Amino acid sequence: MCREYLAADRRITPSTRATSRLFSDWQAGHVMIGPSLLAADFGHLAREVHRLEEAGARYLHLDIMDGHFVPNLSFGIPVVEAVRRLTPLPLDVHLMIANPQQHLARFREAGADYLTIHIEVAPNPTELLHEIHRLGAGAGLSLNPPTPVDRVLPYLDLCQIVLVMSVMPGFGGQSFDPVALDKIRALRAQSPDGLIISVDGGVKDGTIEQCAQAGASMFIVGTGLLGYPDYKHRLAQLSQIAQSARKTL
């Protein structure tokens, strides 16, 4: 488990963000594609994780769904613990749950390096973001397609990651909603130095290019990566598309 952050009840400075492994990798020029394990073959989880490591993944994304905030169930703490035992890669844990305040410590103990909560369930997330930092994790804030980007702007200085959902959360394989692009542009224009802008939902060939051009720095990919037989080739293909788009900024 990467203890990257000191407990703190203060706003994050650029130097604090620079200690984030994900931001450091992005700043070094790596394309930050996060394989979403929701699309993995859970009958062979260890094999899937090792294949993604060998393909060159720099972190893994885990979607936690509770059947309340989103209309589906995924997996919970035992799976996060199992993945933590399988890999030293950073674990980016997205809490799509109605009561994140009750579970932050348990997911951190299970191995989460980044914990992202939703503005829709925490309209004033200040204390929860502070709590994530006190636990030693990186803090993220996510917003769904119908949610105005203005809702998260007051809290950017408390986050390492802002995750823009380009589909309604709950199910994989949905089509990309282009409303995400305007949100990414707005966040990029107003983001403090070092903030990671991540996007999740329907990310594949054409949309990863659009997201990179809009200013996204991390891309969560499920079936657009794990739905292909050769993870290494597919990851390289997506990385090249995003890298080329990034050079046009």
Q: Are 103 and 97 in contact (CB under 8 A)?
A: yes
Q: What is the DSSP letter of 154?
A: G
> Is 200 assigned a catalytic role?
yes
Structure tokens at 170: 């709950």
Residue owning tokens 């050079």: 247
**Residue 178, phi then psi, degrees to nearest 5:** -65, -5
Q: Which of 92, 113, 177, 200 is catalytic?
A: 200
> Is 230 assigned a catalytic role?
no
Q: Which of 63, 92, 113, 177 is catalytic?
A: 63
All residues at 6 or more sequence positions from 162 whose CB lies less than 8 Å from its CB, including other chains: 140, 141, 142, 143, 152, 156, 187, 191, 195, 196, 197, 198
Residue 24 burial class via C-beta count within 10 angstroms: exposed 0-12, middle 13-18, buried 19 and up = middle
Report, as residue numbers or ranges, the catalytic residues.
63, 200
